[in-house]
């Protein structure tokens, strides 16, 4: 529905214009009236008219002056002039101010309707043109982004291109790669979560957007991606806080449900021809970042320099070690460590590289912590073993410390299911008595000296439900009791059970019970 303003110093004429035409049939409605041009201009901001029908002769500001002001300030508004003076000079000025029609008084319903239809057609044409321009601009921008992505894709995959061609294309696409980092993003589901291919894609897109926001100070180009991984090229100088900004993005993603983000960062490069080498560095870095929940952003410089094929081989062996530790298979973990250190010796890897490998084993071994393991580690010098690894230059000592630490970590697991049962009962009891507090997986893990991922995994395995779901159900049951037995308002009930957002509380309550809190109260209280 188009909004129409009537401007005339005679009230009778304004009323006549309002009532002589079936405005709704024209797809219009009268939203404002004014007695002169000055009053009309004052109302434009609030009335937001699409069409102004104005008399030409008025005190204060006449119709042509109004048309001029509207043309300058709000050119999208269409003006129709009514006049009893068929003067050619008036018509010339009206055309100059983009007036859509010049209607002589006394007019007829037919003539005025025709003028309104002309104004409607002009508005439709303007909007169509704006839409087309926006679509063209969007298409042009999308095409530009596609061409940039294709060029970077060719460079990353070492497609044979001359240096001259690369630099010419960079200039054509307005890309400055005189100083850049290659980033590799990797997403993974949280423990106990299963994601579809579409969900992976959506989550990766969301991660890209978050990272782009964090790196908004620097041009960032993304390259054609897979389901869980993609490359980005951040055009920034070597001293730029790229690592810190990537960490900020990972922290934001960490507040989202169901998935995690890891980022590998290459060394800073100043030549686009070696972009593939930088991509290899980012790939190596993200492989190790995926091992360490506490360090999800890894810079290649932290890894030491060794060939890609060696990195891949170490990565495969570390995966096997981690799998054995995750299943608490002491014998298999020992065999896999044998393979890791045999590989280290066979390829004469430098101490810095071996130290990184040992640190990663320590970190994902800590992920297994059981309640009694906290005391066990301290008592047996587990923490000091990590300190020895960081300080020693002896590969043999690093190996000995790492083997000893893994054995210490796995020792409590030999007690079997009794300890696990006790752990689950303890966690449930704690949740049952503290549900009114701001509990989180991280807080519960800390309470029981566990890593969040291990607690989540073991709780789901033993109970069949996620820990977050169990906490949610406990809170809803407590809320049902309060709704039945008290006069507390819904938001007060939400606060009592540890949910500070009443809207979220209402949504979750309905999801679990099928009723909103107030409807549940009415149903149980009759």
pLDDT in tens, 406-440: 877 776 554 445 567 777 888 899 999 999 988 87
**pLDDT number for residue 382:** 46
**pLDDT number for residue 389:** 81
Mark whether 425 and 378 lie in a shared domain.
Answer: no
**pLDDT number for residue 138:** 60
Q: Which two tokens stand for residue 200?
A: 């992976």
DSSP code per residue over 406-472: HHHHHGGGGGTHHHHHHHHHHHHHHHHHHTTS---HHHHHHHTT--HHHHHHHHHHHHSS-HHHHHH
Round to whole Å and give the CA distance between 300 and 283.
Answer: 9
- Number of structural domains (the chain) is 4
450 vs 252 pLDDT, higher one: 252
Q: Which alpha helices (DSSP H) does 290-350 contain, by range?
A: 308-326, 330-346
**Which of 114-123, 167-176, 268-277, 343-352 has the least mean pLDDT?**
343-352
Q: How far is CA 108 from CA 16, 35, 115, in A?
A: 11, 22, 11
pLDDT exceeds 80 at position 442? no
Q: Kindly report the CATH number assigned to the domain that includes residue 23.
A: 3.40.50.2300
pLDDT exceeds 70 at position 70? yes
> Would residue 153 count as lying in a domain?
no
Beta bridge mates, 234: 181, 220
Q: Which two tokens stand for residue 485?
A: 């037995």
**pLDDT number for residue 370:** 45
pTM of the predicted structure, to 2 decimals: 0.45
Mark whether 317 and 391 lie in a shared domain.
Answer: yes
**pLDDT number for residue 377:** 45
Question: How many helices and strands, by DSSP H and E, does the chain display?
Answer: 22, 10
Mark whether 443 and 335 lie in a shared domain.
Answer: no
Of 287, 310, 277, nearest to 181 by C-alpha is 277
Q: Which alpha helices (DSSP H) does 327-416 contain, by range?
A: 330-346, 351-366, 371-379, 382-391, 395-410
Mark whether 11 and 97 lie in a shared domain.
Answer: yes
Round to whole Å and give the CA distance between 33 and 10.
Answer: 11
396 lies in which domain range? 304-415
> Would residue 513 count as lying in a domain?
yes
Segment 117-145 shows an average pLDDT of 78
Mark whether 409 and 422 lie in a shared domain.
Answer: no
Segment 57-70 shows an average pLDDT of 88
Last residue of a domain, one of 287, 317, 340: 287
**pLDDT number for residue 256:** 73
pLDDT exceeds 90 at position 52? yes
Ranges of beta strands (E only) in 140-241 are 181-189, 220-222, 229-234
Last residue of a domain, one of 242, 257, 287: 287
pLDDT band, residue 373 (cuts 50/70/90): very low
Mark whether 428 and 402 lie in a shared domain.
Answer: no
**pLDDT number for residue 90:** 66
**pLDDT number for residue 450:** 65
Segment 232-259 shows an average pLDDT of 88
Q: What is the mean pLDDT of the chain?
A: 82
**pLDDT number for residue 246:** 94
> Would residue 293 count as lying in a domain?
no
Greatest alpha-carbon span in the chain: 106
Mark whether 325 and 271 lie in a shared domain.
Answer: no
Q: Kindly report the CATH number assigned to the domain that includes residue 510.
A: 1.10.10.60
Mark whether 109 and 17 lie in a shared domain.
Answer: yes
> Would residue 426 count as lying in a domain?
yes
267 vs 106 pLDDT, higher one: 267
> Would residue 296 count as lying in a domain?
no
Q: Provide, rounded to the nearest whole percent, the portion of the chain with pLDDT above 70.
A: 87
**pLDDT number for residue 178:** 92
Report the range out of 73-82, 190-199, 283-292 with the highest average pLDDT: 73-82
Report the range out of 133-137, 267-271, 399-403 with the highest average pLDDT: 267-271
pLDDT band, residue 23 (cuts 50/70/90): very high
Q: Kindly report the CATH number assigned to the domain that includes residue 253.
A: 3.30.70.270
CA atoms within 13 A on the CB side of 492: 6
Mark whether 114 and 182 lie in a shared domain.
Answer: no
> Would residue 144 count as lying in a domain?
no
Q: Provide, rounded to the nearest whole percent, the portion of the chain with pLDDT above 90.
A: 27
Q: How far is CA 114 from CA 24, 103, 403, in A?
A: 15, 10, 91
Last residue of a domain, one of 415, 445, 476: 415
**pLDDT number for residue 367:** 57
For helices 63-73 and 88-96, give the axis angle rounded to 10 degrees: 20
> Would residue 151 count as lying in a domain?
no
Report the range out of 136-145, 441-450, 509-518 with the highest average pLDDT: 509-518
Segment 62-81 shows an average pLDDT of 90
Mark whether 436 and 502 lie in a shared domain.
Answer: yes
Segment 91-105 shows an average pLDDT of 78
224 vs 32 pLDDT, higher one: 32
> Would residue 145 count as lying in a domain?
no
Round to whole Å and give the CA distance between 58 and 13.
Answer: 13
Mark whether 369 and 472 lie in a shared domain.
Answer: no
Q: How far is CA 136 from CA 130, 143, 169, 321, in A?
A: 10, 10, 22, 54
Round to whole Å and give the CA distance between 450 and 191.
Answer: 14
Q: Which two tokens stand for residue 476?
A: 């809803």
pLDDT in tens, 294-338: 678 888 887 755 556 666 777 788 888 888 877 777 788 888 888
Round to whole Å and give the CA distance between 495 and 497.
Answer: 5
pLDDT exceeds 50 at position 94? yes
Q: Are 467 and 426 in contact (CB under 8 A)?
A: no
Segment 99-113 shows an average pLDDT of 86
pLDDT in tens, 141-176: 777 888 888 889 889 888 877 888 889 889 988 999
Mark whether 276 and 315 lie in a shared domain.
Answer: no
């Amino acid at each position: 529905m188009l909004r129409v303003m009537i401007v005339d110093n005679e009230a009778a004429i304004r009323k006549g214009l309002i009532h002589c035409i079936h405005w709704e049939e024209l797809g219009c409605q009268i939203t404002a009236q004014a007695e002169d041009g000055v009053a009309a201009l004052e109302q434009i901001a609030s009335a937001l008219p699409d069409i102004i029908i104005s008399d030409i002769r008025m005190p204060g500001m006449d119709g042509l002056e109004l048309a001029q002001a509207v043309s300058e300030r709000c050119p999208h508004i269409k003006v129709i002039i009514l006049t009893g003076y068929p003067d050619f000079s008036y018509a010339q000025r009206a055309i100059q101010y983009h007036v859509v029609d010049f209607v002589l008084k006394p007019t007829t319903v037919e003539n005025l309707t025709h003028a309104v239809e002309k104004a409607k057609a002009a508005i439709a044409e303007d909007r169509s043109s704006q839409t087309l321009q926006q679509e063209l601009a969007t298409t042009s921008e999308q095409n530009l982004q596609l061409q940039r992505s294709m060029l970077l894709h060719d460079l990353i995959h070492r497609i044979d291109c001359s240096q001259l061609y690369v630099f010419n294309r960079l200039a054509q696409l307005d890309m400055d790669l005189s100083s850049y980092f290659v980033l590799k993003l990797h997403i993974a589901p949280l423990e106990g979560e299963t994601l579809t291919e579409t969900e992976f894609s959506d989550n990766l897109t969301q991660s890209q957007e978050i990272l782009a926001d964090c790196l908004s100070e620097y041009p960032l180009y993304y390259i054609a991606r897979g389901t869980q991984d993609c490359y980005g090229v951040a055009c920034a100088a070597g001293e730029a806080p790229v690592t810190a900004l990537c960490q900020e993005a990972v922290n934001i993603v960490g507040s989202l449900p169901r998935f995690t983000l890891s980022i590998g960062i290459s060394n800073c490069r100043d030549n686009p021809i070696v972009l593939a080498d930088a991509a290899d560095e980012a790939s190596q870095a993200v492989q190790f970042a995926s091992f360490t929940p506490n360090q999800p952003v890894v810079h290649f410089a932290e890894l030491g320099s060794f060939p890609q094929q060696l990195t891949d081989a170490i990565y495969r062996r570390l995966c096997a070690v981690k799998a054995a530790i995750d299943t608490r298979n002491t014998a298999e973990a020992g065999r896999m460590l044998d393979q890791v250190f045999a590989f280290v010796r066979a390829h004469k890897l430098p101490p810095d590289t071996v130290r990184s490998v040992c640190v990663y084993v320590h970190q994902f071994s800590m992920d297994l912590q059981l309640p009694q393991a906290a005391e066990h580690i301290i008592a047996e010098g587990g923490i000091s073993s990590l300190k020895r690894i960081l300080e020693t230059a002896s590969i043999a000592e690093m190996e000995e410390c790492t083997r000893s630490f893994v054995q210490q970590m796995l020792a409590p697991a030999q007690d079997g299911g009794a300890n696990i049962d006790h752990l689950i009962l303890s966690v449930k009891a704690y949740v049952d008595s503290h549900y009114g507090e701001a509990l989180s997986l991280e807080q519960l893990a800390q309470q029981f000296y566990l890593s969040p991922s291990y607690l989540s995994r073991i709780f789901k395995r033993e109970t069949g439900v996620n820990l977050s779901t169990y906490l949610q159900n406990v809170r809803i049951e407590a809320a049902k009791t309060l709704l039945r037995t008290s006069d507390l308002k819904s938001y007060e009930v939400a606060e009592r059970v540890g949910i500070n957002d009443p809207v979220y509380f209402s949504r979750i309550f309905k999801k679990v019970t099928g009723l909103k809190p107030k409807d549940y109260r009415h149903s149980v209280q009759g």
